[in-house]
Structure 1
Amino acid sequence: MTAHASGPAGATEAPLVVARVGVVGLGLIGGSVARTLVAAGVDVVASDPDATTRAAARDAGVRTVGSAAEVLTERPDVLVLAPPLAALPAVLDELAAALPRLVADGGPVPVLTDVGSVKAPVRAAVDAAGLGARYVGAHPMAGTEESGFGASRADLLPGCAWAVTVGPTTSPDHLLPVLALVTGPLGGVARVVDDATHDAAVALVSHVPHVLATELLNLATAAPARALALGLAAGSFRDGTRVARTDPRRTQAMVDGNADAVVGTLRDAAAHLGALADALDAGDAAAVTAFFDAADPVRTALADGVSAGTSPSATVRLDEPGWQDRLTALGAAGALVTRIGREAVVVAR
């Protein structure tokens, strides 16, 4: 990935550079963002409400201040919001209160992004705080069953897939620094999509899997054979329940935040499992076979590599009406950002 792009007549534009980044919230992902950027030589200023966390971050080479407002006044190019979802409105109110003075003093005002696993509620909160004009959503598909700054790592995010989300009025001046940050010093690959498409997709590949993993633990907890089952458990149980061994409040908040998308997917899963139970009970071999074979298209795609091969590239000019719709449609179809310029973004599947 590069933050360069070809300009008119093949000329190469100067790279898009994100020189200073603010991070508010130093948990697993916010801490990993800070560590990764510090390792890449980016100037980082961060805050966390917990003094012990701030001290640990300073020991790891992260420059810290006491509040989100102080991060804002450092005028980072991009300010990354990484608090728990429940704490986000208070953080946004603090930023909104500090912003008018920053604007009155002149000079650059940061672009806001975030790393949350659900996007529509975050945009709603940012809009409610009056900060929506400067917001571009982002979500790295990375994590572990651990939490907190102590679990964060400089090698967690490089190479991971990111969704970057825009709305109908998103400005290119705000999108481009976020893409440059994600595909540059954070080392990610990015797809640009709208909030609703993102939330539906992560319900399938993250939020519902967390629920199903928790249900496996629930089943084991309630089973008379629990002691023997846990003694016999091997790879399939370990791998199938790994994400359920994290803080259940964190998982609950994630699922609650994406309830609109999660509910429908959970009802589909319940219907499929109920139908399988009925087929097994009735000895309906054909229905049982159909259940296990229905996943063949995705099974094949995963075996072959979802991103194997590339399609011809498409260039989306950012000065044309409706560029947001075109870019998000390509992203929803799987297109990755491959080149970033001040006037256009190039993508390819």
Structure 2
Amino acid sequence: MSNQVASQPPFPIPNPSKGGEKVFDPFGELKIFAGKASHDLALRIARYLGVELARSETILFSDGNVFVRILENVRGRDVYIVQGTEHPVNDNFMELLFWIDAFKRASATQVTAVIPYFSYAKGDKKDEPRVSIRARVCADAIEAAGADRVLTMDLHSPQIQGFFKVPVDHLLAMPVLVEHFARKAIPDLVVASPDVGFAKQAYKFAQMLNTGLVIGNKTRRDHTERAEIFEFIGSVEGKNVVIVDDFTISGGTLIEMAHACKARGAKEIYACVTHGVFAAGTAERVQKSPIKELVITDTIAQRDPSVIPSNCVIVSVAPMFAEAIGSIHRRESVSRLFQGYEGVKI
């Protein structure tokens, strides 16, 4: 008897690129599952695609063990598990691995790990003696669990894609954030990067908004979140400034950069990051800072309103993830999502 899984019959699914028109998909049924960390985002993605969020459950036992269970048939299906790795990082990461394993054992045709926020991406190199390259260990674990591909957003270091042997689709929140500030039409605007490491992305941000760019340079004395801006390239005098970065935990880097801009004659200060991690005390620090508005995306579920600064605005990247999932499912290009942004190569 053959062990091959029979192909699924064509399945009607809305095609977002065709205005939601129902098309018969020759690649079979697409299923979106939600891990405990990213349920709300997964629900928004499913709604955008016009499909029901697939049924599943996650149980955390009293001894700390995580248990996951699929509550519907996935044999021969194209499965997407949406699970970020924010706090509690290790619990959420282990849950992701268990989901991947469960889908493979249930004979899903393709399992894509959709990781809106890949926390261990910060551990991308061996920059001091006798330390682990944590992002590489995580990549190996995701592959060993059986993931066929990975879909993620704004990795702290893009080279992490090379840690994987399976395909990685790396989305950028930049178009969504740019659109937010473009609608505001802020006069005399300049984009600022708080360090040289993010300068390349900040340059693309500035190109999209047709503004100038300034670059700060920060240093950290230890592994705490506190950063010090000690150099500054460019002028912000008489300008409104939007500080851009990939994530913030304590708000320290953004706040230090905001103070540096104010000290050099800047007018209003805005900031935006993809991932609002928000450790305890961040909300109060950001609210008391010169930052008028902090814009983040919904890659991380903000379940406790008290951790969100009152001057924070959340924009959704669910449509971008949904479009990417639709493209992967239909074997179409994902890079098309970044076309039409003033010729800037993202």
Q: Shorter-chain TM-score: what band?
A: 0.3 to 0.5
TM-score (norm 2): 0.35
Q: Which has the higher strand share?
A: 2
Work out which of the two has the higher radius of gyration on C-alpha atoms and give 1 or 2: 1
- Higher RCO structure (Cα 8 Å, ≥6 apart): 1
Q: Which has the higher helix share?
A: 1
